[in-house]
Chains A and B, each alone.
Chain A
């Protein structure tokens, strides 16, 4: 389990607090989505999970290992994989397989095991046959999958993703989201930073950050209903949540805590069944 306990952080001694007393738990196999405005501290928080940053105050532990202890950082980085926003700034290998081999190579695994890790990771992201491709010849979505494969090759138990669907076309976005959901189903703990709340309907929790603090931590349906009610101006709830909140405010007896279109249809249908005269 990853535990953030009263974490505050500032860049430099006199800088402003970017994180302020953050308490957060990420359990094994849990899928947590993290949303918030630009500059609210999401990426800074993410970098605390695998000891790229250590708290100015408070503690971060990964399976009880304190991230401030530099002798434990290799183990922590193996347990928590990190996927950054821009894959172009993350891919280090001259070919896909070399890039994916970078992490296992840093763990000094024997070459045979490194090759096995690479093969497995590429299969998990569906990039078999891409081994010899140069990174600059890949599409944006493929680069994103390579950067995820590079992390998976280290066989982490948690994976932190910073806006993994940013700048992707709808098909690539769906592919990446399906992969994340698949990893979650296979038991991997996930922290998914996103601006598009509609992307995280499969998450177990939605955490909203404001000015370096956690302002909301709830099930996605309830959290989206809170967003749809306008509690966090500027953060857009998924259209379904907004529609249900609107219907509720108009006096319809619907449950606003739904995120899928199918569930919303069912709610509206049930409501209309209770008011047969109003059925269109």
Chain B
């Protein structure tokens, strides 16, 4: 089975790897919001920042491309939708049926695709430089003020962690089911779209039944190992270092710069 690689953590010792995951999540949120507000100048600044962060992460470009490649089709679709369905002045007399290419469509399509890839790159940089457990621990810390409203933040974090833990298992199980069906004569590659959807749907019931059974066993195993409401600890404690505060200050300064560039 081809391994599931999208945005998977790549262990490393880069400055980005060492950064507190809370700082990274917060930075992604802030930069994500800026991406939607960005002017042309700001877009250049954000793109430069992303390139710099990629270099700082010491990730191989291949890893990033592997993560982005599956989304190319979606990006192309986004571009085409904006290209054909945005009203405006036509730069060329190219129209076929209801479709009409406009100058605004080209610009809007370009912006949306840039925003899409910028956001995905931020997410990928976050998940590729942060271990899943650190990510979950940071999420739990960030959500912890909600405890006042009796939101079970710890349970939510465990749920996220379990979902991440069982994703590869779920995919493996799907692959096994497909192979088992293939061995009994089912052919996934033949037939039209309807046939393919029907065959794929036939996997849903056994997959869900398996997941439900596993969930029961897992709950029992977790209980047996002392999981209950109450204080929990883990392997590491998140502690902010000087470099984390420096990173936060940088993000604040950069956000100011982006906002100012938009006003000018």
Contact = CB atoms under 8 A, between A and B. Distances in A.
Interface of A: 47, 50, 52, 74, 77-78, 81-82, 84, 86, 88-95, 97-98, 101-111, 114-115, 118, 132, 134-136, 150-151, 154
Given A88-B214, A115-B235, 13 more contacts: A77-B223, A84-B217, A90-B218, A94-B161, A95-B133, A98-B234, A101-B235, A102-B222, A108-B231, A111-B233, A135-B165, A151-B225, A154-B225
Interface string B218-229: 101111111110
Contacts of A110: 233
Interface in B208-256: 213-214, 217-218, 220-228, 230-237
B221 A84 contact: yes
Contacts of A105: 232-235
Given A50-B224, A102-B225, A106-B227, A92 B218 contact: yes
Nearest to A115: B235
Contacts of A91: 165
B233 A74 contact: no
B168 A111 contact: no
A82 B224 CA distance: 6
A132 B236 contact: no
Nearest to A134: B168
Question: What band does the interface of chain B fall in when counting residues whose beta carbon is under 8 Å from A?
Answer: 20 to 34
Nearest to B4: A136
Contacts of B123: none
B170 to A, nearest CB: 10
B235 A92 contact: no
A86 B233 contact: no
Give the residue among A91, A136, A151 with the most B Cβ atoms within 10 A.
A136
B232 A92 contact: no
A267 to B, nearest CB: 42
B104 interface: no
B223 A52 contact: yes
A106 B228 CA distance: 7
Contact of B222 (A92, A107, A135): A92
Contacts of A93: 133, 165
Contacts of B223: 52, 77
Nearest to A132: B11
Given A52-B224, A106-B225, A134-B168, A86 B235 contact: no
Give the residue among B169, B234, B236 with the most A Cβ atoms within 10 A.
B234
A116 B223 CA distance: 22
A70 to B, nearest CB: 10
A114 B233 contact: yes
A265 B53 CA distance: 71
Contacts of A101: 234-235
B226 A74 contact: yes
Given A77-B224, A84-B220, A154-B225, A108 B230 contact: yes
A103 B228 CA distance: 11
Contacts of A107: 226
A136 B167 CA distance: 10
B46 to A, nearest CB: 31
B226 A154 contact: yes
Nearest to A78: B226
Contact of B235 (A82, A84, A106, A111): A111
B132 interface: yes
Contacts of A104: 233
23 contacts: A47-B220, A52-B223, A77-B226, A92-B221, A93-B133, A93-B165, A94-B161, A94-B164, A94-B165, A101-B234, A102-B222, A103-B225, A103-B226, A104-B233, A105-B233, A106-B225, A108-B231, A111-B236, A114-B233, A132-B11, A136-B168, A151-B225, A154-B225
A150 B225 CA distance: 8
Contacts of B226: 74, 77-78, 103, 106-107, 154
A105 to B, nearest CB: 5
B60 to A, nearest CB: 19
A10 B222 CA distance: 23
A47 B165 CA distance: 25
B221 A89 contact: yes
Interface in B187-225: 213-214, 217-218, 220-225
Nearest to A106: B226
A92 B162 contact: yes
A111 B237 contact: yes
A114 B137 CA distance: 15
B221 A90 contact: yes
Interface in B135-163: 161-162
5 pairs of A and B residues whose beta carbons are closest in the complex: A89-B217, A106-B226, A90-B221, A82-B224, A103-B225
